Every structure is written in structure tokens, then in C-alpha cells.
Structure 1
Amino acid sequence: MPKTIITPPGTGQPIAPFVPGTLADGIVYVSGTLPFDQENNVVHVGDAAAQTRHVLESIKRVIESAGGTLDDVTFNSLFITDWSNYAAVNQVYADYFPGEKPARFCIQCGLVKPDALIEISSVAHIGGGGRHAY
């Protein structure tokens, strides 16, 4: 099965051996996405809502670069550092997924950089390949 690496324009260099997304058989797998700028610095330190918005915008860019939309997302994995941020994360999350919600899970854990409060990975089904803009 052929696969295509998805790297939206303006994406910074990853801090580990991974790519932002992979497209295979009409499915986009989005790597764990943290609230990083292009130099891998954490943005919006201390603001879980703003970090969640930043992460979801980054995920949206990956999926759109593969020819899909957030409506195509079928599954999200959420990792938060503190349950006290859960309500803020969910409020922003609901803005990005206003209709039928994707399946998901959410766990509390430590993240690669202490100032990061949220990490999300996604799976989107965009059909039989669709239009690709890499």
C-alpha cells in the first residue's frame, strides 16, 4: 500500500523522527500535535484553551493539505497534563467539532515539554484519495 507524507507549508522541523501526517488508502493519520511554533517553542504558556486552539489549527492544516476537512476526522487521542484544564480543552474542542463528534479518548500524562498542556493526534477518513495538495 503506497503512503504519502503530509507536511503543510510552514511546518517546523519535528523534534523527533516523525512527520506531521501520513496519507494511506484515503486515511490521514496525524501525529501527536503539540502547541509548538516553527522553532518548537511552546506557545500560549499557561493557557490551555489557546494551546488547544493552536493544536487543532495545526491538525486542520495537515488534514486540509491531504485534501480533507475536520468533518472527516473519525478519531482523536487527547493527552492533557492536568484535569483542571479539561473544561477549557472541551470548550475549544467543541468549536472545532460542532456537529457529529469523532470518537476519542483523553488521558492525563506528562508531555515532552513541561509548558505544553495538551497534545492531540487524529485519524481522518477522506475517502478514496481525494484531491492532494502537499
Structure 2
Amino acid sequence: MEFIDPPGLWKAPRYANIVVAGEFAFIAGQTAFDEQGNVVGVGDIDAQCERALQNLMICLRAVKATPQDIVKVTNYVTDRAYLARLVEARNRIIGELRTASTAVVSGLARDTLLVEVDAIAHLGRR
């Protein structure tokens, strides 16, 4: 296994942003954290969606993957009303995905976080 914390992302003390195991990259939940672990866009769902998805793209690029390599995504929001905004941002930033998907409405690690997205990408060469 390979544990990766790409430049441009906050390096969490207890987990890696990406774990590559075999032909799969497991991308930890990406939120609106900047490189220092500060929340970008406090109270602004659109800003947080944008940052979380940009962070997801950083992870994909770090393992030479594209959004089309994503096989599973889990979307976490603190309010069900935010799901449509997340999908709009995702379509704009990474394109429409047809993948296995789960949506969860729950509290997140910090009270100021509104959205989190994790993913599994297949790295096997086509």
C-alpha cells in the first residue's frame, strides 16, 4: 500500500488523503480545508462545495486518475437541501459522473463544515 498526501492539501495528523492499494485509490473525505486546515467559505455551501471538489481533483491528479476513473463516491452534507448544490458544483468542476454513489446527511468533523466527498478510483490501465 502507498499513503499519499499531495501538495496543496492539508496533511491530517491521523490519516492519509489517499491510500493506493492494488489498482484502486481510496480518497479520504475531502472538505473545504485549505492547506493549513482552515475551513474555506464558513457558512457558504457553494464555496465549500467548490473547495471540496477542487481538493478531490488534486487527489485524482496525484494518482494520475481522472473523474472517469471514479467507481464510487460518497457525498456527505449537513442539510439535505445542500445535495442539489453539491451536484451542480460537481457537474461544473469534474463533469457528470455515472458511478456508484451514496448520499449521507449528517454532522461532520467540524461544526463549520457543510460538505465532504470521498471517492474510490480505479487505476488499472484500460
Secondary structure at the aligned position of 1:31 is classed as strand
Secondary structure at the aligned position of 1:11 is classed as coil
Q: How does 1:1-134 map onto structure 2 within 5 Å?
A: 3-14=1-12, 16-128=13-125
Whole-angstrom CA distance in 2 between matches of 1:122 and 1:96: 15
Listed one character per residue, the Cα deviations across residues 73-116 of structure 1 (whole Å, up to 9, x for unaligned) are 11111110011222211111222453442211111100111111
Kept after mapping to 2: 8 A contact 1:70/1:96? no
Q: TM-score, normalised by structure 2?
A: 0.90
Q: TM-score, normalised by structure 1?
A: 0.85
Q: 1:90 to 1:10 in 2, by over 3 A?
A: closer
Secondary structure at the aligned position of 1:77 is classed as strand
What runs of 5+ residues in structure 2 fail to find an aligned partner? Answer: none
Whole-angstrom CA distance in 1 between matches of 2:76 and 2:124: 27
Identity of aligned residues (%): 24
What's the Cα RMSD here?
Answer: 1.7
In terms of mean alpha carbon deviation, does 5-14 or 55-64 score higher?
A: 5-14
Whole-angstrom CA distance in 1 between matches of 2:43 and 2:9: 23
Which of the two has higher C-alpha Rg?
Answer: 1
Whole-angstrom CA distance in 2 between matches of 1:10 and 1:95: 21
Residue type at the aligned position of 2:48: Q
Q: 1:72 to 1:118 in 2, by over 3 A?
A: same
Whole-angstrom CA distance in 2 between matches of 1:66 and 1:103: 20
Secondary structure at the aligned position of 2:81 is classed as helix
Whole-angstrom CA distance in 1 between matches of 2:60 and 2:50: 15
What runs of 5+ residues in structure 1 fail to find an aligned partner? Answer: none
Whole-angstrom CA distance in 1 between matches of 2:98 and 2:48: 20
